[in-house]
């Protein structure tokens, strides 16, 4: 385990300014990441056997842990949903969620906080090529997650994220807007439901106010994202699914979170409008 602070003063200042910070090689690939990739490989294998699919794969390697997945979803997209629900229950992933460095990082980015893991606020996204239904619109994390206004998403890829894979787009500095009201329907994407359907009030004008960045990242890298910073999924126009991990921490000491008892949002079966009617723009 590393000793002393994880971050330099410059990194803490950068995060304060931008609301987003990339930490290269934050995780130990062999110890933290490869076991998750191995388990995903094994789960894909399990489905190939379960459904007797004519898919053959090379032996496991971290670089190609998802071999067979594109053929699997081409045969039946529902197999992909089965994998998606399964992978967040991989023990090595749940261990990563509670990685000791995560509370330390939170404490360094939010001095004086009491860090907490957002229950149900973790999972592994599989952004399939040319599939837009589950893309995240421009959003802030807070309405979709609640828990506390002061929170961080920890985002980390399991594959090297290339330009054509649609890296996440951020508006650095936009956290100063505070919580922005949202519409609960996406007129451009009526098929979207739940958290996916939220759209920001006055989105166009807001997005014009800030620069946009889409950093490229690799396995082992960690992106820390303020719960109030504006961000959106890119468009995956590559041949490979974009596998990325998300987990969320919040602060037990933040007053708004305390006032509603640190309740969760969609994943906890809560309609955020009952807690924050003022954040509903409908």
Ligand X SMILES: O=C(O)CCC(=O)C(=O)O
Q: Cα–Cα distance between 229 and 223 in angstroms, integer? A: 12
Looking at the Cβ atoms of 48 and 233, the one nearer to ligand X is 233
Give the one entry of ligand X, Fe ion, none that residue 34 binds, where binding means its C-beta sits below a cut-off of 5 to 8 angstroms depending on kind.
none
CB 83 within 8 A of CB 69: yes
CB 200 within 8 A of CB 230: yes
* 116 part of the interface to ligand X, by CB under 6 A: no
Residue where the block lists tokens 């898919």: 55
Query: Which of 137, 233, 251, 265 touches ligand X by CB under 6 A?
Result: 233
SS3 (DSSP) at 209:
coil
* 244 part of the interface to ligand X, by CB under 6 A: yes
Query: Which of 141, 150, 226, 254 touches ligand X by CB under 6 A?
Result: 141
CB 82 within 8 A of CB 126: no
Q: Cα–Cα distance between 196 and 256 in angstroms, integer? A: 24
Give the one entry of ligand X, Fe ion, none that residue 90 binds, where binding means its C-beta sits below a cut-off of 5 to 8 angstroms depending on kind.
none
Phi, psi of 51 (to 5 degrees): -100, 10
Looking at the Cβ atoms of 233 and 265, the one nearer to ligand X is 233
Looking at the Cβ atoms of 18 and 244, the one nearer to ligand X is 244
> Under rule CB under 5 A, which residues in 137-156 are in contact with Fe ion?
141
CB 37 within 8 A of CB 65: yes
Least Å distance, CB 136 to ligand X, is 4
Query: Which of 116, 149, 168, 267 touches ligand X by CB under 6 A?
Result: 168
* 147 part of the interface to ligand X, by CB under 6 A: no
* 158 part of the interface to ligand X, by CB under 6 A: no
Cβ neighbours of residue 214 closer than 8 Å, sequence gap 6 or more: 163, 167, 168, 169, 170, 234
Least Å distance, CB 246 to ligand X, is 4
* 231 part of the interface to ligand X, by CB under 6 A: yes
Query: Which of 26, 27, 106, 155 touches ligand X by CB under 6 A?
Result: 155
Pick from 37, 271, 276, 244: which is nearest to 122 by CA? 244
Least Å distance, CB 151 to Fe ion, is 11
SS3 (DSSP) at 226:
strand
Half-sphere exposure of 281 (CA within 13 A, CB side): 16
Looking at the Cβ atoms of 102 and 125, the one nearer to ligand X is 125
* 200 part of the interface to ligand X, by CB under 6 A: no
Residue 199, number of CB atoms within 10 A of its CB:
18
* 136 part of the interface to ligand X, by CB under 6 A: yes
Query: Which of 26, 37, 102, 125 touches ligand X by CB under 6 A?
Result: 125
Local structure of residue 223 (DSSP, 8 states): E
Residue numbers of the site for ligand X (CB under 6 A)?
125, 127, 136, 141, 153, 155, 168, 231, 233, 244, 246
Residue numbers of the site for Fe ion (CB under 5 A)?
141
């Amino acid at each position: 385990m590393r000793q002393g602070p994880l971050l330099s003063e410059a990194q803490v200042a950068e995060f304060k300014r931008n609301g987003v910070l990339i930490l290269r090689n934050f995780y130990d690939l062999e110890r933290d990441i490869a076991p998750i990739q191995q388990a995903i490989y094994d789960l894909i294998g399990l489905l190939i056997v379960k459904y007797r699919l004519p898919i053959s794969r090379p032996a496991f390697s971290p670089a190609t842990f998802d071999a067979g997945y594109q053929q699997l979803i081409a045969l039946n997209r529902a197999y992909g949903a089965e994998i998606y629900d399964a992978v967040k229950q991989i023990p090595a992933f749940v261990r990563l969620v509670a990685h000791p460095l995560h509370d330390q990082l939170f404490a360094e980015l939010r001095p004086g906080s009491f860090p907490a893991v957002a229950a149900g606020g973790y999972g592994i996204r599989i952004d399939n090529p040319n599939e837009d239904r589950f893309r995240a619109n421009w959003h802030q994390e807070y309405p979709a997650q609640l828990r506390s206004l002061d929170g961080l998403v920890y985002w980390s890829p399991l594959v090297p994220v290339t330009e054509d894979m649609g890296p996440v787009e951020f508006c650095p500095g936009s956290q100063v807007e505070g919580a922005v009201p949202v519409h609960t329907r996406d007129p451009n994407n009526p098929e979207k439901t739940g958290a996916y359907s939220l759209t920001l009030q006055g989105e166009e004008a807001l997005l014009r106010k800030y620069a946009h960045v889409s950093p490229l990242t690799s396995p082992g890298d960690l992106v820390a994202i303020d719960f109030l910073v504006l961000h959106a999924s890119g468009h995956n126009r590559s041949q490979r699914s974009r596998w990325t991990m998300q987990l969320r921490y919040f602060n037990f000491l933040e007053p708004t979170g305390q006032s509603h008892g640190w309740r969760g949002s969609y994943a906890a079966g809560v309609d955020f409008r009952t807690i924050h009617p003022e954040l509903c723009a409908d």
